[in-house]
Amino acid sequence: MWVFGILVFDQLTKYWIVANFPLGSKWALIPHFVDIVHYRNPGAAFGMLSGWNSHLRNYFFFGVSLVAITILIVYWWRTPLKERGTRIPLMMILGGAIGNLVDRAIRGNVVDFILLHWYDKVVQFKLFGKTYFLELVWPAFNAADSCITVGVVWLLVTNLFGVHRREGG
């Protein structure tokens, strides 16, 4: 049920963005901090490999997504029902992965619409005699990405710190 709910919410939010915001647009939800945008990500998380100009790019990401989804389903299936601390985050990751896979299947890329930034600032610093510029912005993301991130962090905390919630004990 979690997976379906996440998938539906993710696709509804993306549909709303595509229907109401021109590609590349930006609207300040919380000025100087959160913008609603309409960006497209042809790559992986945070735009990795988005510059890969090959007709194989979509096939590659589609295949990687299918393998990841299969692994998540098997892991979820083998996890005892009592281990909610593992099963719930797996469902969150699975719902997000399927949501982004649906985007790739329908649009050929992923719709991102939340942009976090700090006053559009750029920090300048020197390191080993070279000047660097760091833009205080987090790459645009979507509801599916949020579920994947929360699910991964939840799994890490659960498994690294031995935090398990089980019924009856």
CB 110 within 8 A of CB 100: yes
The whole-number pLDDT of residue 169 equals 43
The pLDDT tens digits of the residues spanning 93-147 come to 999 999 999 999 999 899 999 999 998 899 999 999 999 999 999 999 999 999 9
At 7-40, the pLDDT tens digits run 999 999 999 999 999 999 999 999 999 999 999 9
* Contacts made by residues 1-5, CB under 8 angstroms, sequence distance 24+: 2/88, 2/91, 2/92, 2/95, 3/91, 3/94, 3/95, 3/98, 4/95, 5/95
pLDDT in tens, 33-70: 999 999 999 887 777 777 777 778 888 888 999 999 99
Neighbours of 109 (CB within 10 A): 18
H/E segment holding residue 108 = none
Question: Which are the catalytic amino acids?
Answer: 112, 145
What is residue 165's predicted lDDT score, i.e. its pLDDT? 53
pTM of the model: 0.84
Please tell me the predicted confidence (pLDDT) of residue 168. 46
